[in-house]
């Protein structure tokens, strides 16, 4: 359990409350204030009991159990999100490897047929692959296949 959760529970259990009502109001300068009394000529909102701290010793076992269940549920949800993100990343990597494998096998097949292979240069002219370049490309594609194909 993280230290934040423990700190929250400790504060929850040791908080003290006063019986006084608390009001929220905004002054003429637009600043928000909280006080036990409403100044004259001011409109104020009374803060509800849920806004007040919990009195020490008033937290029962059921409330504590509920809080623990909520914390555990939040932790489980976080863990599930992390696992889903990790699975998605693994699937993305698998798709990339599959793509590289498929294209490397295709290109290797073409190079191994000993047919003329060319590419186009900037002028649109055919530039044929010579035997040394063909052998180098075959070696590189074989390495790609070894790394990416199962």
Any domain includes 26: no
Any domain includes 37: no
37 contacts: CB under 8 Å, gap ≥ 6: 23
pLDDT at 21: 76
Any domain includes 38: no
pLDDT at 60: 61
Any domain includes 78: yes
Per-residue CA distances from 49 to 20, 46, 56, 132 (Å)? 10, 9, 15, 83
Any domain includes 109: yes
- If one counts the domains in the chain, the total is 1
Any domain includes 66: yes
C-alpha to C-alpha distance for 115 and 129, rounded to whole angstroms: 10
pLDDT at 79: 93
Any domain includes 46: no
Q: Residue 43 class from Cβ within 10 Å (0-12 exposed, 13-18 middle, 19+ buried)?
A: exposed
Q: What is the mean pLDDT of each run of 10 residues along the chain (150 residues)?
A: 62 56 80 80 70 52 78 90 95 94 94 90 94 93 92
Domain that includes residue 108, residue range? 3-17+53-148
Any domain includes 30: no
Whose tokens are 């259990």? That residue is 13
The torsion angle over the Cα atoms of residues 58, 62, 65 and 70, rounded to 10 degrees, is -90
pLDDT at 58: 52
pLDDT at 67: 81
């Amino acid at each position: 359990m993280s230290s934040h959760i423990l700190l929250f529970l400790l504060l929850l259990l040791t908080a003290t409350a006063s019986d006084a009502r608390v009001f929220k109001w905004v002054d003429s300068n637009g600043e928000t204030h909280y006080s036990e009394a409403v100044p004259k000529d001011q409109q104020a909102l009374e803060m509800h009991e849920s806004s007040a701290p919990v009195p020490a010793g008033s937290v029962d076992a059921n409330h504590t159990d509920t809080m623990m269940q909520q914390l555990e549920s939040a932790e489980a949800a976080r863990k599930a999100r992390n696992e889903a993100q990790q699975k998605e990343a693994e699937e993305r990597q698998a798709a990339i490897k599959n793509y590289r494998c498929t294209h490397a096998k295709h290109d290797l097949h073409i190079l191994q047929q000993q047919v003329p292979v060319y590419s186009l240069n900037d002028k649109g002219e055919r530039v044929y692959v010579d035997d040394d370049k063909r052998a180098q490309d075959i070696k590189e594609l074989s390495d790609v296949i070894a790394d990416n194909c199962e």
